[in-house]
Structure 1
Amino acid sequence: MSTTASSLGRSLAESHRSVAVPSGGSWWKRFLAFAGPGYLVAVGYMDPGNWATDIAGGSAFGYTLLSVVLLSNIMAIVLQALSARLGIAAGMDLAQACRASYSRPVTLALWALCEVAIIACDLAEVLGTAIALKLLFNLPLVWGVALTALDVFLILALQRFGFRKLEAFIIALLVIIAGCFLFELALARPAWGTVAAGLVPSPSIVTDPAKLYLAIGILGATVMPHNLYLHSSLVQTRAYRVEDKADAVKLATLDGTVALVLAFFINAAILILAAATFHAAGRTDVADIDQAHQLLSPMLGAGAASAVFAIALLASGQNSTVTGTLAGQIVMEGFLDLKLPSWIRRLVTRLLAVVPAVIVVGASGDRGATQLLVLSQVILSLQLPFAVVPLVRFTSDKGLMGRFASPVWLKVLAWIIAAVIIGLNVKLLLGMI
């Protein structure tokens, strides 16, 4: 790779190395200085698209697909650790690394595929936020979808206060989401022995087309391609010394791992709630977020259950909006070296999601919205190999990574994960054909 990191420019320039990291002092101070990027990444692993796939999976198949949530999260932890390693060791984000390594046509193709993934993710955020507004304020779904175009200004307002304040906002919303689901699970009282059994993979997941479709949707909703670009940039907001790179890699990996464990518990809680409330009562047909909201209060015997569910959904949609904005900026600047005002870039992406959402909601109503949510997650899964393969390749390259190149065990594990993702997608496509 002949192009150097310095010649590519700074990733996320306005926040690059803006967060001070003490070179000495206690380990806890250094860890807390590094804590933050992992939580921004974790937001993408619990966005409204996850809700649709987890609710549908828990309602239809009980705890069976819980093992898919677990395995997807383990894959995510490994891949996000590689992403952080690339950003710190090579000093460039994944999009910049692709631009430096591949020909212009290949770079443009990868950029286009990543933009499709971001639009699919944005579609989930649009629909999730609109559904939450409808549940809380009885706002018609079409109007809610149109209103989400305005949240383009949320990220601009937050960035004015500095990157640490942005991270604090994200973490506060995550705490709200986690608290809401702890409340819901306390009401649902799932059978924890059966829950534990669901963590063991079942062969029927691969042999049953309906389970496979939802499993790949869960995979796409969990291991999100644009998060790999995002994490490799966000770790560069930390102002660590060059001689502290090894420490930075360890702290960034720990930050991401802790955050993704939290994401696993929230995703698992959504599926467990659907299984314990709907599947256990014989309601295997619950696939709509709206339908789940209507049934929670009467089935759990608590009037607040539905409102708490809607509040968590709204927090999830807004969280995902913030990180989606950052990912879009990183991808466009990294692949194309094209710098647009962030509000223009965000508005274009949001409108590309709003237009199909308005069409589908207007034509088929709420059920069409949920089906579109699940489809958006399957699209994300199909785009995933085009981000995973370059990431694994770059982090295995000693010429680029130096002493931080992946050791043999990590390289083998990463390629196995890539092969599993590609294999599942091929099987899905063949089944659809």
Structure 2
Amino acid sequence: MKNWFKNVGPGVLVSAAFIGPGTVTVCTLAGVNFQFALLWALLLSIISCIVLQEMAARLGIVSQAGLSESIRKEIQHPILRGLAITLVLSAIVIGNAAYEAGNITGAVLGITAVLSPLEVQLGSSFSLNIWSVLIGAIAFSLLYIGNYKILERVFIGLVALMSISFIITAFLTQPDFSAILEGMFVPKMGTDGILTVIALVGTTVVPYNLFLHASLVSEKWKDASKIKTARKELTAAIILGGIVSMAIVICAAAPNLVNVSSAADLAVGLNPLFGEYATWFIAIGLLAAGITSAITAPLASAYVVKGCFGWESGIKSAKFRAVWISILSLGVLFSSLRFSPIEIIRFAQIANGLLLPVIAMFLFWIVNKTSVMGKYKNSLLQNILGTIIIVISIFLGAKSIYSVLQNF
């Protein structure tokens, strides 16, 4: 057991990163609107996530470099390299700055589901949300310490708390398990469900997690013999994350839930059905999801910038800290003043829609290079799975961009 805990870490951070307030909200809406019918999309997402994250982890361990650093080194043509780096920086750094407000707000929603809001009025137009500042301070403290082992332990605790909260609530709803199995293995969608399917996949297979994972494993493991350990750890962690996502869908599919448009509404809606315990479990789960994403988004951004510009310094360096402090500060500012940077978020959605298939193709290309991976390059099965996932990601990316452009 001691040895098992020693090897837990990077995969848990990836799992914690994709189960943020956005995922909780999307899963809630999927459950309310479609009950168990779209669980198959989550299953597909989990498999895709495992395949791509395994490639990223293998690249990080073998090359001892992050994904953005590999992009900079392996793309030789200066114009193509410049375009790739610009796209990555735009989608990951600007995107995470825009989404960070949602991460912090999600954690605040978890708190205010059971506790009173704390606000300070700033003139006639603005009020400062004290809970947002508190969440930001917690994230800042953990990141500023710059100790990877402490971060690992905190995330293991938060993921455990989040998992227990949502899974127990799912069981409290006493779902029909035969209907759950049907939803997982019998694909149904319809015209109304396509955008929800895109959202479910998009919130699970997250581009910035590929960068984060490659960087984290290169810091934790220095020997290619650890690939098998990393593979087991990430598979277990992502499956657990998938189970949590499915548990949220199951909670939201509970009968007689009406006027539910967010996880906060879900917490309130379950109260008359299953008592105050369900409300507390949902609130705690949402709080944990918000805090984990509020930490991983700035951390991933800093690793991306570090790799793109070739910084040699580590997690405690002034430049590295300046990046994540900027992302976190913008998130706290937008969340505490209740300002939603809609145009920036739309831009980030388009950039991420372009980025996922591009990064998946680059990752696929580089993990097939003998000069980089040696004997650890992709197998035939990994190439087949990778090709299928790239095709799916291109389709979903195009659909995502189209849906965003329609709203302009």
TM-score, with structure 2 as normaliser: 0.85
Amino acid at match of 1:119: A
Contact 1:114 1:331 in 2 (8 A): yes
* Alignment counterpart, residue 234 of structure 1, candidates 197, 212, 216: 216
Match of residue 125 from structure 2: none
Q: For the residues of structure 2 that align with 1:308 and 1:322, how far apart are their CA atoms?
A: 22
Q: For the residues of structure 1 that align with 2:58 and 2:36, how far apart are their CA atoms?
A: 34
Match of residue 368 from structure 2: 396
Q: For the residues of structure 1 that align with 2:72 and 2:17, how far apart are their CA atoms?
A: 24
1:291 and 2:265 aligned: yes
Match of residue 256 from structure 2: 281
Match of residue 294 from structure 2: 321
Shift of 1:288: 1.9
Match of residue 7 from structure 1: none
Q: For the residues of structure 2 that align with 1:32 and 1:133, how far apart are their CA atoms?
A: 30
Amino acid at match of 2:97: I
Q: Any idea what the Cα deviations from partners look like across 1:94-144, whole Å, max 9, x if unmatched?
A: 010011123342223322222234234423312211212322322158614
Amino acid at match of 2:14: V
Amino acid at match of 2:10: P
* Alignment CA distance shift 1:311-1:354 (3 Å): same
Q: For the residues of structure 2 that align with 1:235 and 1:428, how far apart are their CA atoms?
A: 30
1:95 and 2:81 aligned: no
Shift of 1:91: 1.9
Contact 2:94 2:348 in 1 (8 A): no
Q: For the residues of structure 2 that align with 1:373 and 1:55, how far apart are their CA atoms?
A: 21
Contact 1:88 1:232 in 2 (8 A): yes
Shift of 1:64: 1.2
Contact 1:126 1:148 in 2 (8 A): yes
Amino acid at match of 2:397: N
* Alignment counterpart, residue 241 of structure 2, candidates 241, 252, 263: 263
Shift of 1:29: 7.1
Q: Any idea what the Cα deviations from partners look like across 1:250-298, whole Å, max 9, x if unmatched?
A: 11111100111110111100001101x2xx3263x42122221211110
Runs of 4+, deviation exceeding 6 Å: 372-379
Among all aligned residue pairs of Structure 1 and Structure 2, give the percentage whose two residues are the same amino acid. 24
* Alignment CA distance shift 1:122-1:228 (3 Å): same
* Alignment counterpart, residue 196 of structure 1, candidates 170, 181, 185: 181
Shift of 1:407: 1.5
- 5 Å matches for 1:361-380? 361=338, 380=352
CA RMSD of aligned residues (A): 2.8
TM-score, with structure 1 as normaliser: 0.81
* Alignment CA distance shift 1:239-1:232 (3 Å): closer
1:156 and 2:156 aligned: no
Match of residue 25 from structure 1: none
Contact 1:130 1:148 in 2 (8 A): yes
Match of residue 15 from structure 1: none
- 5 Å matches for 1:300-339? 300=274, 302-338=275-311
* Alignment counterpart, residue 353 of structure 1, candidates 310, 320, 331: 331
Match of residue 35 from structure 1: 8
Shift of 1:319: 1.8
Higher mean displacement: 139-148 or 305-314: 139-148
Q: Any idea what the Cα deviations from partners look like across 1:371-415, whole Å, max 9, x if unmatched?
A: x99998787555422322211111111221111111122112112
* Alignment CA distance shift 1:45-1:335 (3 Å): same
Q: For the residues of structure 1 that align with 2:332 and 2:155, how far apart are their CA atoms?
A: 23
Amino acid at match of 1:176: L
1:251 and 2:229 aligned: yes
Amino acid at match of 2:171: A
Structure 2 alignment gaps of length 5 or more: 120-127, 312-316
Shift of 1:198: 0.5
Structure 1 alignment gaps of length 5 or more: 1-27
Shift of 1:307: 1.7
* Alignment counterpart, residue 322 of structure 2, candidates 335, 338, 344: 344
Q: For the residues of structure 1 that align with 2:28 and 2:212, how far apart are their CA atoms?
A: 27
Match of residue 314 from structure 2: none
Q: For the residues of structure 1 that align with 2:347 and 2:17, how far apart are their CA atoms?
A: 16
* Alignment CA distance shift 1:193-1:158 (3 Å): farther
Shift of 1:249: 1.1
Amino acid at match of 1:167: E
Higher mean displacement: 72-81 or 393-402: 393-402
Amino acid at match of 2:260: V
Q: For the residues of structure 2 that align with 1:214 and 1:295, how far apart are their CA atoms?
A: 21
Match of residue 207 from structure 2: 225
* Alignment CA distance shift 1:151-1:238 (3 Å): closer
Match of residue 111 from structure 1: 89
* Alignment CA distance shift 1:111-1:308 (3 Å): same
Q: For the residues of structure 1 that align with 2:181 and 2:347, how far apart are their CA atoms?
A: 28
Match of residue 421 from structure 1: 393
* Alignment CA distance shift 1:382-1:220 (3 Å): farther
1:172 and 2:157 aligned: yes
Q: For the residues of structure 1 that align with 2:250 and 2:197, how far apart are their CA atoms?
A: 15
Amino acid at match of 1:61: F
Shift of 1:323: 2.2
Amino acid at match of 2:115: F
